[in-house]
Amino acid sequence: MFSRRQFLRVGGSLGAAALAIGVLPRLVGSPVLISEARADEVFEVSHSDSEWRTLLSAGQYQVLREEGTERAYSSPLNDEHRDGTFRCAGCALELFSSRTKFDSRTGWPSFWAPLEQAVATRSDRSFGMQRNEVHCRRCGGHLGHVFDDGPRPTGLRYCMNGVAMNFAPHAA
């Protein structure tokens, strides 16, 4: 399985040719593949591809840098219930408080709100559906998606990849 970035990175002319002849839309089920994220986005924390590969585990790299998705119920953070903060595995920015975590029964850590100024969203039209991608506002790492089927008070469900985060328990 390829991530969107891997697929688009295969080659501009190959991807453009496949799109032009209509092969690409049939392969992925959608005529719109390219994220609205700009190629020129600059983040406070940035590294070369080889530096990211050194800094992150293979799973973290695949999710954070290639917009992959971990298997449902594979993250220990799904069952993390202590008081603390969930941080970006790429840059350690505090993203979510444990106070906003809830069991969505989806197999991924879910939250009804991020911390202020922690995440950013962008439109994701991959795989034949419209979703809102959530990424770390400081390093641009892909975290997951946000949906409008969450609990009160926001009604939102930030469905995050556990491998994209680390947990820091609060001191007792």
Task: Residue 26: give the domain boundaries.
Answer: 1-34
Catalytic member of 88, 91, 139, 159: 159
Find where tokens 């971990």 sit.
Answer: 70
20: part of which helix (H) or strand (E)?
A: helix 12-21
The pLDDT tens digits for 49-96 are: 999 999 999 999 999 999 999 999 999 999 999 999 999 999 999 999
92-136 pLDDT, tens digit per residue, is: 999 999 999 999 999 999 999 999 999 999 887 776 777 899 999
Q: What is the rounded distance in angstroms from the CA atom of residue 86 to the CA atom of residue 11?
A: 36
Same domain for 123 and 82: yes
Would you call 139 a catalytic residue per the annotation?
no
Mean pLDDT of the chain: 81
Q: Clarify whether residues 8 and 91 are in a common domain.
A: no
79 plus 139 within the same structural domain: yes
Tally the domains of the chain.
2
For 135-156, write each residue's pLDDT tens digit. Answer: 999 999 999 999 999 999 999 9
Q: What's residue 42's pLDDT?
A: 85
Helices in 22-140 by DSSP H: which ranges? 23-28, 49-55, 58-64
